[in-house]
Structure 1
């Protein structure tokens, strides 16, 4: 394949994506490299080109395609969730469910991998421990799109069994993989982005201290930003908690990493 395509930085506007690149993306032959490309994917073409090999029947390909065409509020995120949830509904009682999940989650196309999280998150036969464990490879995925979709897919499940989830995720904070560490805070943000708030963490952010304490001086900027955003969320409903934690961290963790987190977490408080 052309090295210019492989090493591309990605267009800033959808209309500037080269036709050859867009064709390869829609065929599932290459990954997207930025948000512009990710939003430009033609999911109908992607599905119709790849789903037979993944193990999806023609009947279900047709069903999913019809649902995509008749969406009331079409968007990349809504389409991704629609495809993932429809696949689960169609195969939840089928013996091929696990093989379909494996085929989706290991596909070259990041957009196809994004469908996979819903096959785990919606599975009523799995506990939150099992859902998290079986989604860990997706959590660690190298692609930004997959990582964002997987925390959004699992977030309602985490909220539904919060104490157990926090217990599991506090252990994940010790992972060598920064993507896994970042998931622990991104998936539990009290307010979050493009998602329903977690009311209990808005009211009692101290429940998440087992996670936050372990990441207070994380070396990764990717993780630092997420921790700071988590605490900034908390400051909007429980500013005293954040102020007190901030003062304690200043004394207990005199690192530049902690300083960066504190600066980010208090930005809303100091605007008031």
Structure 2
């Protein structure tokens, strides 16, 4: 089904024509010319059934005896085909929040997820004839798309080797928008934006996953600290030896590196011990 323009004339011109027909019918009935008067009255009533008012950002789908006659998108008052059934479809931008869905991410962890969908109708004929109750169709397909995207990625990871639902919100939103648009093309709906509004671990594992996140964060931080400390210790030894400040054997080099690592890696400030010599020296 493809949308097309319905036959319609300007409503003001049509109303003037309608008034003229009614006046002529009244004149003929007044002079007791019944047949012309009745014919003109029937024509006027027929024209009156075609009066249609279209609000801004709305489309009126015109149907006559089960056949799609076209749509009226211009706002204003019009007279279209008489004795037609007309259905008004809003072309305004709308949005809705999906329900909180409980799904498993790619790693099998149960999570709660929800999204806000911003959309509008761009083809009123498809919205009316190709799907039944397009608003409900959009809602169900949105939940299906959110579930599908949620199962493709992990909730979170500290290794930065893959996309995650929590760490790559923009990429996830773009993919959700693309997938939802592909599902809704049949209904004549354009998806403007689809963005996650709620994302959390399910309640039964939330505490355990929080501890796991904290442990992963601590391990990641300690790893970075150790790598930095090793590099600093190596630089310090190399500079001391290159400048000829000291000449260390292997044992003293190991001792100095150990002291430097302890000083850098320790969570608390280290306390130096000053050797002032022995009493018997």
TM score, norm. by length of structure 1 = 0.21
Q: Which has the higher helix share?
A: 1
User: Based on CA coordinates, which of the two structures has the bigger radius of gyration?
Assistant: 2
Q: Which has the higher strand share?
A: 2
Higher relative contact order (CA 8 A, sep 6+): 2
TM score, norm. by length of structure 2 = 0.21
